[in-house]
Structure 1
């Protein structure tokens, strides 16, 4: 059938509309490590480590050390100046599944994986600390942030830190408190306070805090790179000094 000019114009318009509809959204392009590029570039990365935060998720600054296409190191390589690796821990895959079933994300897995090799609260009570510095649960959440950011402990004092031990045996509460705390502080401040308590909140861009955040993001990237890592026995680690 002969196509009239009007019909042809209509068809062209239809194809153009479809092209727009199926084109990637602005800023949706992903880096080689699978994370989206930061729409706002380095403005979303105040600490300059190549990792930013937009729309409640991590993003990569184009051309930074976290972007392998821009000459930086690949996420499969250890972060610059750090020592890292992986090994198998019997039963860890089951533990990963338990954390995920409790609502845990790959970021949560990375935090727990960095803290202990079994992703459990089987460490010295309070992490050998007391008061606001005492740590509880598989993420080693400090009491200061728990009582400020988790409704379960709202209004409690520094001296009531033993109440935080409830997280040691309740994975659901542990994950819930983590998410509440991250929401309360905002992810960047949460990283700072989680790593170094009130000092971290006051001075969030120290080398130590940035190294800790880089380590967690590296582990998360390894987990996200292969879905098998969400449920296998592989533990990724980065050597970060205990404090």
Structure 2
């Protein structure tokens, strides 16, 4: 009897130990890889992205990058030079200085990386720069560089980059499933390994 009780308990808890380490806030809260919850004021941010020339794809990227779709994260996302990230999409300076033409980032040097902070307070510039870079690189290479910088630009088809793309597309599909999601405070999230 004892063995069968032990075996039953072991079968119940084994899946818990088989899970990968959970280090993302959403996984800690919800215990799964995707979902949704309400963030006060998020509907206004979604509308602001659309008003700045963005679309559902842009909202999905921003929603994946930060909970509030704002720039209230550590300056440069804790990174410097070409690795520094700015704006609601967390665009890296290495790409911005090559392809961000409409707001004058293209042609600047790596040493001017602090200039990228301009998109932290200018949503129009943020959206335009993301579109400039997607147009310049093409969607797949843009995804690679956005997710993994210079390495991703040269090798945009890694598993990690594919996982990031899957997350963006999943969030986009949820947003498109009901038009109310483009204006309400619902945040969709999808776990990707932080880098």
TM over 0.5: same fold? yes
- Per-residue CA shift, 1:211-243, capped at 9, x if unaligned? 000000000000011111100000000111111
Match of 1:161 among 98, 101, 113: 113
- Residue in 1 aligned with 2:191? 239
Q: Deviation at 1:161?
A: 0.3
- Residue in 1 aligned with 2:15? none
Query: Is 2:102 aligned against 1:102?
Result: no
The structure 1 segments of at least 4 consecutive aligned residues displaced by more than 3 Å after TM superposition are none
After TM superposition, the structure 1 = structure 2 runs for residues 143-154 of structure 1, keeping only pairs within 5 Å, are 143-151=93-101, 152-154=104-106
- Per-residue CA shift, 1:48-77, capped at 9, x if unaligned? xxxxxxxxxxxxxxxxxxxxxxxxxxxxxx
Match of 1:213 among 149, 155, 165: 165
Match of 1:139 among 47, 69, 89: 89
Q: CA RMSD in A?
A: 0.8
- Residue in 2 aligned with 1:93? 43
Q: Deviation at 1:179?
A: 0.5
Q: Secondary structure at the match of 2:37?
A: strand
Give structure 1 stretches of 5+ with no counterpart: 1-81
Q: Report the Cα distance in structure 1 between the residues aligned to 2:107 and 2:51, rounded to whole angstroms.
A: 29
Q: Deviation at 1:159?
A: 1.0
Give structure 2 stretches of 5+ with no counterpart: 1-31
Query: Is 2:57 aligned against 1:121?
Result: no
Q: Report the Cα distance in structure 2 between the residues aligned to 1:211 and 1:196, rounded to whole angstroms.
A: 12
| Bigger relative CO (Cα 8 Å, ≥ 6 apart) | 2
Q: Report the Cα distance in structure 2 between the residues aligned to 1:211 and 1:195, rounded to whole angstroms.
A: 10
Hey, which of these two has a bigger chunk of helix by percent?
Answer: 2
**How many equivalent residue pairs?**
162
Structure ID, larger Rg: 1
After TM superposition, the structure 1 = structure 2 runs for residues 1-243 of structure 1, keeping only pairs within 5 Å, are 83-151=33-101, 152-243=104-195
Q: Deviation at 1:189?
A: 0.5
Taking structure 1 as the reference length, what is the TM-score of the superposition?
0.66
Q: Report the Cα distance in structure 2 between the residues aligned to 1:95 and 1:177, rounded to whole angstroms.
A: 18
